[in-house]
């Protein structure tokens, strides 16, 4: 729902959608293998852990958002990793 609202807002305020739908090649080259690796690691970690529910919730609630923020600051053109972002990620 959030992504759909952003696309509608982009269309209404800027009058175009291309900037949201066309990603630089660097983002495609990194994001697709990362999704594949995470898709393999997550079920493996849950199956091999001693407490499946706690481990799965921890991965989804904490690890995935943190890695998304850190990697997007590194790979998205024009984005910067500031001290505030690091502190918010650690907290």
Per-residue pLDDT of the chain (91 residues; tens, 9 = 90+): 777 787 788 778 877 777 777 777 877 787 788 788 878 877 887 788 777 777 777 777 777 777 777 777 777 767 777 787 777 777 6
Contact 33, 19 (CB under 8 A): no
21: phi then psi, degrees, rounded to nearest 5: -100, -20
Give the model's pLDDT for residue 85.
Answer: 73
The rounded distance, in Å, linking the Cα atoms of 12 and 5 is 10
- This model's pTM is above 0.85: no
């Amino acid at each position: 729902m959030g992504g759909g609202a952003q696309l509608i807002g982009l269309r209404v305020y800027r009058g175009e959608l291309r900037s949201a739908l066309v990603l630089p090649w660097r983002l495609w080259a990194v994001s697709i293998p990362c999704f594949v690796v995470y898709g393999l690691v997550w079920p493996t970690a849950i199956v091999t852990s001693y407490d499946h529910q706690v481990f799965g919730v921890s991965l989804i609630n904490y690890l995935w958002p943190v890695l998304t923020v850190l990697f997007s600051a590194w790979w998205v053109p024009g984005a910067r990793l500031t001290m505030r972002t690091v502190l918010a990620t650690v907290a």
